[in-house]
Structure 1
Amino acid sequence: MIPETPDYLFHAGEATVLAREGQFTDAMPEILIGRTDGPVGHAFAKLMAQSKGHTAMFVIRACNQLVRPATIMVPKVTLKDTANIDLFGGVVQSATADAVVDCLIEGIIPRELANRLCIISLVWIDPRCAKHENLDKKDMYRTNHEATRLAIRRALSNEPTVDELIARRHSLKHDMDDWS
């Protein structure tokens, strides 16, 4: 039997948007998007079991406003204090929620599939953010919103392509690459 939405079984994407000068608000979401009845849906459901320091959270725009597709976000680093947890469940959650809704508005995510897909977003919060005396929450919102939109678009467009990866194999290196 051919699935009704074969192109939406499992898509992965990522993006990095850098903070403005003097901030630690770089955003680097890693997105998994797929059907609720496929492997992404199964992983999504399993994330409902919490693990210490990596609390998974539904993405909401406001109380009683869960985004569609249902989206869950998980921090990539251990959240050890209330200040970082507040950033995760505040600014980052808001930016992620708005990015998902904007992807619906822009047609990146097909509206007719909004209730049949789900998204897992692994998000980065630099532990220095919460203690930074001049933390710019607007910049944190900007980087997370832009990066999430871009990661979703890349996931659903299968970017980068295999051909691009092969063509650029020797011309690109990892940003942290100081060993080659």
Structure 2
Amino acid sequence: PVIAGTGCSSTKATLELTAWARDQGAKASLVVTPFYFNPTYNEVYQHYDKLMELEFPIVMYNIPQCSGVHKEWWTTEGLAELPNIVGIKDSSGNMPFLMSLFEKIGGKIAILCGNDEIGSAALEAGADGLILASANIFPEIWRKIYVAVKSGSPEEAHRLQKEIQKVVRIIVRSGGCEAVKDCLRLMGLDMGFSRKPMVEGDACRWEDIEELRSELQKLGKIPRREVEYNLGGKVVRTKLFATPDTPRKVGGFELKIGEGFAGPPIHENAHIDLLLGLRKGPVGKAIEKALARQKEEYRARIIREKPRVLLVPTVSVKGKKMVELVFTHAAAGINLAIDHSIEDGFLPPETLDEISMIANVFVHPSARNRKRVMFNNYKAMRYAIRKAIESKPTLRQLLEARESFRHPFRYTP
């Protein structure tokens, strides 16, 4: 059965589109609260009341973060009495409002949760079902959550929700459109790009896409694939978690460049510029020169030998606090990222004696949260390694992103 989205800002347009959907064979219409004009509660009521003349099932849609209008429970309670109102989809994420709906109209019409972050909680509280953006990505997990709740196994539902929580948080925060399409592309299902004004890499930022990739990998949505590395006189085959953009053959190990960003919070944001290449090539020679010419004790430091990694701070390292943040916590994150990149297949064990890295690492002088410094540098380094190996961003990504260039630290948590 098809439930057609037919809500418009005017009652006239909504009537026309809903009638068209009915005539095309839809089973019901999902009608968002009229937006833009900021209608009063009585005007919202009259809007839905007018739709009753179509004698067609209507599911109300409450999504105030997009419509700018939030239904109150008393308006919804009255609307539930109308003859063709069969349900409400609430995407507000407002649990007190949802609990009011269960109290006032539970059992009268279907109550559906549309907020991915509270899916299992809503089901446990009494929701009849879910309509979720992330169900396009892992429908089988949401079905398991639904079955777990309805069969009296809330612990299993909690466990499953926790597994997908980071993905759904990014989707909800970024508005859903691009994030869902980005996930599907990473999984090998190219659904194209969202229509304008949505722009790739903006609401769902490039660093978010990298994080989605890491999470989808954990969920088994991105499989391993064999990739051939050509290190000049040596060929290494590795199985890594590959997306459609991952090349089947990787060369050019004389010099590879990657970049990674991660946050929040703002003072603990991480920015890594990475040079990766052969020890006998430009990167290895640059490390030797840097160490030979270094005058200040805390200017740069070797933090690993396999592969050889030189950490170069972006800002001056002064005082014990900065020394600790840069060379203990940021360095720990970078080393953990390398460990995981080895496990993921991006840095095969056979290459570790052959390559070197120079990581230009930004740690803000006002940073305080040691764990976030470590974790953000871990994420930024992991992203930078992947981008270096896969030669990203691609030309297509650069052309698409030309409309949304921004300062990398415009990071909203």
Pair in the same fold by TM > 0.5? yes
Compute the displacement of 1:76 (Å): 0.3
Compute the displacement of 1:8 (Å): 1.3
Report the structure, 1 or 2, having the larger helix content: 2
Partner of 1:81: 319
For residue 47 of structure 1, give the secondary structure of its aligned residue in structure 2. helix
The answer on 1:164 being equivalent to 2:408 is: no
Kindly tell me: are residues 166 and 19 of structure 1, through their superposed partners in 2, closer, same or farther at Cα, counting changes over 3 Å?
same
In structure 1, what residue type is equivalent to 2:258? G
CA distance in 1, matches of 2:327, 2:397: 36
In structure 2, what residue type is equivalent to 1:56? A
Partner of 1:126: 364
CA distance in 1, matches of 2:232, 2:384: 25
Q: 1:12 aligns with which of 254, 257, 281?
A: 257
Contact in 1 for aligned 2:260/2:384 (Cα 8 Å): yes
Contact in 1 for aligned 2:298/2:323 (Cα 8 Å): no
For residue 48 of structure 1, give the secondary structure of its aligned residue in structure 2. helix
Greater C-alpha Rg: 2
**C-alpha RMSD over aligned residues:** 2.1
Structure 1 regions of 5+ residues with no counterpart? 60-65, 130-134
CA distance in 1, matches of 2:255, 2:295: 24
TM-score (norm 1): 0.82
Partner of 2:285: 42
Report the structure, 1 or 2, having the larger strand content: 2
Contact in 2 for aligned 1:11/1:33 (Cα 8 Å): yes
Compute the displacement of 1:136 (Å): 2.0
CA distance in 2, matches of 1:101, 1:14: 18
CA distance in 2, matches of 1:162, 1:46: 33
Count residues in correspondence.
Answer: 162
Partner of 2:232: 3
Structure 2 regions of 5+ residues with no counterpart? 1-230, 235-250, 409-413
For residue 77 of structure 1, give the secondary structure of its aligned residue in structure 2. coil
CA distance in 1, matches of 2:314, 2:295: 12
CA distance in 2, matches of 1:148, 1:87: 16
In structure 1, what residue type is equivalent to 2:401? R
Q: 2:273 aligns with which of 25, 30, 33?
A: 30
Q: 1:113 aligns with which of 342, 351, 354?
A: 351
For residue 8 of structure 1, give the secondary structure of its aligned residue in structure 2. coil
Compute the displacement of 1:164 (Å): 2.1
In structure 2, what residue type is equivalent to 1:72? L
TM-score (norm 2): 0.37
